[in-house]
Amino acid sequence: RIYDPEDFAGMHAAGRVAAEILDEIAPLVFPGQTTAEIDRVITDLVEAKGAVSATIGYKGYKHASCISVNHVVCHGIPGPKVLKDGDILNVDVTVIVDGWYGDTSRMYVAGKLSRKAERLIQVTHDSLFKGIEAVRPGNTFGDIGAAIQTYVESHRMSVVRDFCGHGLGRVFHAPPNVLHYAPFRLNEDGQKVTISGTPTRDPTPVLEEGMFFTIEPMVNLGRPETKILADDWTAVTRDKSLSAQFEHSIGVTADGCEIFTLSPGGLFHPTYS
Ligand SMILES: CCc1ccsc1-c1ccc(O)c(O)c1
Ligand SMILES: [Mn+2]
Ligand SMILES: [Mn+2]
Ligand SMILES: [Mn+2]
């Protein structure tokens, strides 16, 4: 679906509420805290801000957030698990404000951030922005994926392939799937080529003004493969390596894009303690 210029205001309002919540829970992340308690506060904040949770009741999910700790890749279920010093966690919140969806996630750390976790978080955050920088009308979704994949793999980390971003707006999920890797490689001249280096066409949809979607790369320190735990939700790295994720909701504009879910507090400190 292609949205109209006046729809951007609704997305900014929804995105801002989601981003404010992620700002406001930062002080709640510390060793000894449970992820259920963080989610409880998120639930209260959604209501206090006059918004509605998009995830409570979605496909049978019962919580206002997904909280994914360490080698959990995504869809971690809040629970009695107690955070310990050095744990890194992604908190993912989606709210509905006047029918508009704001979907965003970011990383936090309980206690002291290890150097390798800091590197992972920084590369993951920067890969999201490499993808965002590729968003403009005339580029393709493959350009977004290639920008992310090239950056991540240049740091000898891996891009999770089993989950992707998505269209959103007046709905939570809509086509297209927004892949965080590309069905082509970029050669040294930036040409789109196959793995074996022969020029190839880009089959992915072209970006157009008025498209709203998320970019939500998941990056692993080890191999890309994931598996789902017996709870049928929690996705973990197969090799148990650490995984990080950042997500923004964005809208394509005439000359680039607008990010709807930027922190109003201008916060980005992976080292929340
Ligand atoms: C808990 C929400 C949920 C349930 C099935 S997939 C999913 C989900 C979680 C985070 C997201 O960013 C998203 O787009 C979907
Ligand atoms: Mn993780
Ligand atoms: Mn999300
Ligand atoms: Mn999402």
Ligand 1 site, residue 39, Cβ cutoff 6 A: no
Q: Could you tell me the distance, in angstroms and rounded to a whole number, from the CA of residue 55 to the centre of ligand 1? A: 7
**Nearest in space to 154 (alpha carbons), one of 165, 162, 146:** 146
- Type of residue at 255: D
Strand order in the sheet with 72-74: 72-74, 235-237, 226-228
Nearest residue (by CA) to ligand 1, atom 9, is 75
Q: What is the pLDDT of residues 225-245, one digit of tens each?
A: 999 999 999 999 999 999 999
Alpha helices (runs of H) in 31-93, residue ranges in sequence order: 35-48
Q: What is the pLDDT of residues 55-86, one digit of tens each?
A: 999 999 999 999 999 999 999 999 999 999 99
Ligand 1 site, residue 59, Cβ cutoff 6 A: yes
Distance in angstroms (rounded) separating the CA atoms of residues 133 and 118? 22
Distance in angstroms (rounded) separating the CA atoms of residues 80 and 63? 13
Distance in angstroms (rounded) separating the CA atoms of residues 127 and 251? 18
Ligand 1 site, residue 209, Cβ cutoff 6 A: no
| Residue 243 to residues 35, 159, 217, Cα–Cα distance (Å) | 17, 10, 10
Q: What is the pLDDT of residues 9-42, one digit of tens each?
A: 999 999 999 999 999 999 999 999 999 999 999 9
Q: Which of 35, 42, 55, 107 to mutate to test the pocket of ligand 1 (most atoms within 8 A of CB)?
A: 55
Q: What is the pLDDT of residues 135-145, one digit of tens each?
A: 999 999 999 99
pLDDT value at position 12? 96
pLDDT value at position 265? 75
H or E element: which one contains 66?
strand 65-69
pLDDT value at position 269? 46
**Nearest in space to 33 (alpha carbons), one of 86, 91, 84:** 84
Angle between helices 115-133 and 141-154 (to 10 degrees): 150
Ligand 1 site, residue 247, Cβ cutoff 6 A: yes
Distance in angstroms (rounded) separating the CA atoms of residues 122 and 120? 6
This model of the complex carries an ipTM of: 0.96
